[in-house]
């Protein structure tokens, strides 16, 4: 009878391969925190829309926009009123989202999504 310790399984090449392949099917949530009258926010929305609409990523991404000026979003106003736009890249298996702030770069966002 074969026995494997947790350490053996965690270090096995099969686990690494499976983990990397599983990430291909994992949905990523992009949340853009922005406000009206912010030119950087307008530019960030264009970048995020381009990333979301790319053929290879559109099925992998859930996209949300949060207007931090709305009363229901007060916690985000308190956090980001001087820092918008802010983009959270969030996966179900990570504790905290990866954050991009101010000037967004589509290539950097795509690289993060594909990790």
Distance CA 110, CA 92 (A): 17
> What tens digit of pLDDT does each residue of 76-93 get?
999 999 999 999 999 988
Question: Token pair for residue 2?
Answer: 């074969």
Please state the rounded mean pLDDT for residues 82-110: 94
Structural domain contains residue 58 = yes
Distance CA 107, CA 87 (A): 14
Q: How far apart are the first and last CA of the chain?
A: 37
Q: Which residues pair with 34 in a beta bridge?
A: 67
Number of domains in the chain: 1
> What tens digit of pLDDT does each residue of 6-46 get?
444 444 444 444 444 444 557 899 999 999 999 999 999 99
pTM: 0.75
Residue 96 maps to which CATH number? 3.40.30.10
In terms of residue numbers, what domain contains 58? 27-113
Residue of higher predicted confidence among 65 and 59: 65
H or E element that contains 55? none
């Amino acid at each position: 009878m074969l026995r494997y310790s947790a350490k053996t399984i965690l270090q096995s090449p099969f686990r690494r391969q499976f983990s990397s392949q599983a990430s291909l099917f994992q949905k990523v949530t992009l949340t853009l925190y922005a406000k009206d009258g912010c030119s950087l926010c307008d530019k960030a929305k264009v970048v995020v829309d381009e990333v979301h609409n790319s053929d290879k990523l559109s099925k992998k991404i859930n996209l949300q926009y949060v207007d931090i000026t709305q009363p229901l979003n007060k916690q985000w106003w308190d956090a980001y009123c001087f820092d918008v736009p802010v983009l959270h890249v969030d996966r179900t298996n990570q504790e905290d989202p990866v954050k991009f702030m101010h000037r967004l770069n589509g290539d950097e966002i795509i690289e993060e999504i594909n990790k």
